[in-house]
C-alpha cells in the first residue's frame, strides 16, 4: 500500500519551486512525498520506484544530498510519512497511505475546493462589521501580551479578526483602510507606535482601557441610580394615588353614597 501510494503521487511530482498564492497557484496539481525520520533526517522522494527511491536528504548540517531511500528500511525506523497534494492554490496533507488512496479515489480534493469556493461566495455577500475602537484595542493588547514582538498590519489584522476569507471579500480594501485609520488613531493617542507600515502596542494602551472601563462603570452606576430614582418616584406617585383613592372612598362611605 505504501509503495503504491508513493508511486501514485509521484506521477505528478512537485517542481522545485511551488507557487502557493497568486494566479500561478491556480494551475497547481502535483504532489510531494517526504519522510521525517527520528533524529532530524528528512527524505524528499523525487521519483517513483519499487523498493528504492531517488531522494534528497537533509539534516541540520547537510542540505540536498542525493541518496537512494530504501522503503523496506522505513518500517523499523521511527518517522512520519507526509504526502502533500498541491491543487489550485490549496494544499492537502496525508500521513496515511490508506487515507491518501481513499481521498484520491473519491476526488476529495475537488469536493473540498468546491465547498471552500461556495463558502467564500456566501461570505462575500455578507457585510463586513466594523470594529469598535476599544474592542479592537483590547484585542491588540491581549495579542501583545501573548506575543511581545508582534507588529500589527491592517491587512494581517483583518485576516486575524475575520479569517482568511476576508482577504477575498470585495470590500476588503475599504475595511482595511478603516482598520488603518483606527491604528493611526491609536498612534496619535499614544496607544501604539508606528514602525513603517506596521504598529506596535504601547503601555499607554493599558491606561486607556482602564480609563474606558472606569467611564463605562461610572455610566452604568448612573443608569442604576437613575433607575432606582425613577422607581422611587413611581412608588411615591402610586402611594399618593392610593391615599387619595382611600380618602375619596372613605368620604363616599361617610356620605352614604357608596
Q: Give dist(CA 18, CA 111) in Å, integer.
A: 22
Per-residue pLDDT tens for 163-220? 888 888 899 889 999 999 999 999 999 999 988 889 999 999 998 988 888 887 887 7
37 plus 145 within the same structural domain: no
Q: Is 126 left (phi over 0), alpha (psi -120 to 50) or beta?
A: beta
**226 occurs within a structural domain:** no
84 plus 150 within the same structural domain: no
Considering only 96-110, 134-148, 215-229, which range has the smallest mean pLDDT? 215-229
Per-residue pLDDT tens for 17-28? 877 776 777 788
Helix (H, G, I), strand (E, B) or coil at 125: coil
Per-residue pLDDT tens for 37-93? 766 778 778 777 777 777 777 776 666 677 777 766 655 456 688 888 988 888 898
31 plus 96 within the same structural domain: yes
**65 occurs within a structural domain:** yes
Q: Residue 54 corresponds to which cell in the numbers above?
A: 531517488
115 plus 48 within the same structural domain: yes
Q: Output the pLDDT for position 199.
A: 92
64 plus 22 within the same structural domain: yes
Helix (H, G, I), strand (E, B) or coil at 93: strand
Count of domains forming the chain:
2
**104 occurs within a structural domain:** yes
List the one residue out of 177, 164, 163 whose CA is nearest residue 130: 177
Query: Residue 123 pairs with which residues in a beta bridge?
Result: none
Characterize the bridge pairing of strands 90-94 and 192-195.
unpaired
Say how many CA atoms lie within 13 Å of 169 toward its Cβ.
Answer: 23
- The DSSP-derived string for 15-33 is PSS---SSGGGGG-EEEEE
**179 occurs within a structural domain:** yes
Q: Give dist(CA 7, CA 108) in Å, integer.
A: 19
40 plus 143 within the same structural domain: no
109 plus 141 within the same structural domain: no
**Average confidence (pLDDT) over 127-156:** 88
Q: Is the pLDDT of residue 258 over 70?
A: no
Q: Output the pLDDT for position 141.
A: 92
Q: Give dist(CA 106, CA 100) in Å, integer.
A: 10
- 187: domain range? 133-202
Among candidate residues 77, 106, 124, the one where a domain is terminated: 124
**224 occurs within a structural domain:** no
Q: Output the pLDDT for position 78.
A: 61
- CATH assignment of the domain containing 198: 1.10.10
Per-residue pLDDT tens for 104-136? 888 888 898 899 889 989 988 988 888 888 999
Q: Output the pLDDT for position 183.
A: 92
Phi, psi torsion values for 239, nearest 5 degrees:
-60, -40
Residues 6+ apart with CB under 8 A from 140: 152, 186, 192, 201, 205
Query: Which residue carries 452604568 as its cell?
Result: 220
Phi, psi torsion values for 10, nearest 5 degrees:
-80, 10
21 plus 74 within the same structural domain: yes
**34 occurs within a structural domain:** yes
6 plus 66 within the same structural domain: yes
Q: Which residue has the higher pLDDT, 75 or 3?
A: 3
149 plus 191 within the same structural domain: yes
Q: Output the pLDDT for position 61.
A: 60
Q: Which residue has the higher pLDDT, 93 or 258?
A: 93
Q: Output the pLDDT for position 62.
A: 61
Amino acid at each position: 500500500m505504501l509503495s503504491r501510494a508513493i508511486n501514485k503521487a509521484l506521477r505528478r511530482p512537485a517542481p522545485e519551486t511551488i507557487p502557493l498564492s497568486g494566479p500561478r497557484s491556480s494551475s497547481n496539481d502535483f504532489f510531494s512525498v517526504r519522510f521525517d525520520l527520528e533524529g532530524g533526517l528528512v527524505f524528499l522522494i523525487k521519483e517513483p520506484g519499487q523498493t528504492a527511491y531517488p531522494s534528497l536528504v537533509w539534516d541540520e548540517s547537510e542540505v540536498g544530498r542525493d541518496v537512494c531511500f530504501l522503503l523496506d528500511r522505513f518500517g523499523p525506523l521511527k518517522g512520519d510519512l507526509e504526502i502533500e497534494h498541491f491543487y489550485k492554490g490549496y494544499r492537502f496533507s496525508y500521513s496515511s497511505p490508506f487515507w491518501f488512496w481513499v481521498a484520491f479515489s473519491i476526488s476529495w480534493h475537488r469536493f473540498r475546493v468546491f465547498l471552500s469556493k461556495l463558502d467564500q461566495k456566501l461570505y462575500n455577500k455578507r457585510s463586513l462589521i466594523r470594529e469598535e475602537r476599544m474592542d479592537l484595542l483590547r484585542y491588540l493588547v491581549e495579542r501583545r501580551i501573548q506575543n511581545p514582538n508582534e507588529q500589527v498590519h491592517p491587512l494581517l489584522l483583518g485576516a486575524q479578526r475575520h479569517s482568511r476569507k476576508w482577504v477575498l471579500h470585495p470590500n476588503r480594501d475599504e475595511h482595511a483602510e478603516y482598520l488603518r485609520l483606527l491604528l493611526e488613531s491609536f498612534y496619535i493617542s499614544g496607544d501604539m507606535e508606528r514602525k513603517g507600515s506596521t504598529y506596535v502596542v504601547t503601555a499607554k494602551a493599558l491606561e486607556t482601557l482602564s480609563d474606558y472601563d472606569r467611564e463605562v462603570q461610572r455610566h452604568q452606576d448612573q443608569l442604576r441610580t437613575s433607575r432606582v430614582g425613577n422607581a422611587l418616584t413611581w412608588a411615591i406617585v402610586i402611594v399618593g394615588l392610593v391615599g387619595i383613592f382611600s380618602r375619596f372612598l372613605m368620604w363616599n362611605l361617610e356620605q352614604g353614597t357608596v
